[in-house]
Amino acid sequence: MKTFSVCLALIGLCVITAKAQTDITNSYQIGVGSTRLLDTYLSQEKFKGTGLTLLNTQERCRPSSRWATVIQHQLDLASLKDRSGSRKEQQADYQFFMGRYYQWFSRERFSLQAGALATVNLGATYNSANSNNPVQARFSLQLMPSAAATWSFLLFHRQAALRYQVDLPLVGVMFSPNYGQSYYEIFSLGNYDHNVMPTTFVSTPNLRQQLSFDCRLGRSFTLRLGYLGDYRQSNVNHLKSHIYSHRLMVGFVHSFTVSNRL
C-alpha cells in the first residue's frame, strides 16, 4: 500500500511538472532597407533614405495549450534626404508589442494562429533645416488584430518553415501637436489643443507584415531570413504623416524549454 501511494505521488508530480513546462522561442534579427517619410508638421517635402531595424521576438507557449504569448521589441533608425538632396531628416522609433495568439487550425505541417497585439510606439524625427520646431515627437498606443500562418517542411533533410504574419490597427490614442502649434505652447505655456487624440483604422491606416524563412542548423539553433514591411500613416489635427519602411532581415532563432518544478 505504501509503495502504491509513492507511485501515485510520483505520477502526480510528473503531471504537475509537465503542465509547468513552457516552450520558449527567441529570435534576434537585423534588417536594412529603404525608408520613405512625410511629416507635414516639419515639412511638406517627402524624404527617403536607408534605414536599419533591430527586431527581437519572444514566443512562449505550453505544449498542452493552444495559446501563445508573444513579445516583440523593434528599433528603427533612418537617415533621409529630400528630392533635391539639400535637406536632411533623422528618424528613430521604438515599438513594443505584446499579445496573445490562439492556434485555430493545425493539420500536419500547416498551422494558423489569430489574436491581438497591444503596441506602444515612441519616436521622433529631426529636420536639420528647421530653426523653429525642428523635432516632431511621436507617441501612440494601439490595439492591433493579428494573424499568422506557418508551413513546416523538410529541406535537404533539415527542418524548415515559412511563416507570414500581418498586423492591422483597430483603435488607439496618439499624441500630436495641432496645426501651427509649437511644442513651447504645449509644454511651457500649457496650452492644450486636442494633443491626445483617439485613433481608428480610418485616421491611422497602418499595416505591418512579416515573411520569414527558418532553417534549423542545430538542435536548438535556427537561421532566419525574412522581410519586414512596416507602413505607418496618420491624419490627425490637420497634420499628415507616413513612414514606409522595407527591410531585408537576417538573424537566428534559439528555442528551449523551462520547467518550474514544484
Query: Which residues face 244 on adjacent strands?
Result: 36, 231
Per-residue pLDDT for 2 more than 80? no
Per-residue pLDDT for 12 more than 70? no
At 76-114, the pLDDT tens digits run 999 999 998 889 999 999 999 999 999 998 888 999 999
The reported pLDDT for the residue numbered 4 is 39
Q: Which domains are delineated in the chain?
A: 2-258 (2.40.128.100)
The reported pLDDT for the residue numbered 15 is 41
Q: Which three cell numbers, joined as nine digits, stand for 171?
A: 483603435
At 201-230, the pLDDT tens digits run 999 999 999 999 999 988 778 999 999 999
The reported pLDDT for the residue numbered 156 is 87
Q: Is 57 in contact with 71 (CB distance < 8 Å)?
A: yes
At 20-41, the pLDDT tens digits run 688 899 999 999 999 999 999 9
How far apart (Å, rounded) are the C-alpha atoms in residues 209 and 215?
20
Q: Which three cell numbers, joined as nine digits, stand for 249?
A: 532581415
DSSP conformation class of 8: H
Confidence bin at 259 (pLDDT 50/70/90): confident
The reported pLDDT for the residue numbered 250 is 98
The reported pLDDT for the residue numbered 219 is 78
Share above pLDDT 90 across residues of the chain, in percent, rounded to a whole number: 73
The reported pLDDT for the residue numbered 14 is 40
Query: In Å, what is the CA distance from 57 to each residue of 73, 118, 171?
Result: 7, 14, 23
Q: Is 79 in contact with 50 (CB distance < 8 Å)?
A: yes
Q: How many CA atoms, within 13 angstroms, populate the side-chain half-sphere of residue 133?
A: 18
Q: Is 167 in contact with 144 (CB distance < 8 Å)?
A: yes
The reported pLDDT for the residue numbered 145 is 96
At 159-178, the pLDDT tens digits run 999 999 999 999 999 999 99
Confidence bin at 18 (pLDDT 50/70/90): very low
List the one residue out of 12, 92, 18 whose CA is nearest residue 49: 92
How far apart (Å, rounded) are the C-alpha atoms in residues 93 and 51?
11
Residue 18's H or E segment, with its range, is: helix 2-20
How far apart (Å, rounded) are the C-alpha atoms in residues 129 and 85?
12
How far apart (Å, rounded) are the C-alpha atoms in residues 211 and 206?
17
Average pLDDT over residues 126-140: 91
How far apart (Å, rounded) are the C-alpha atoms in residues 175 and 95?
15
Q: Say how many residues make up the chain.
A: 262
How far apart (Å, rounded) are the C-alpha atoms in residues 166 and 66?
19
Average pLDDT over residues 239-259: 93
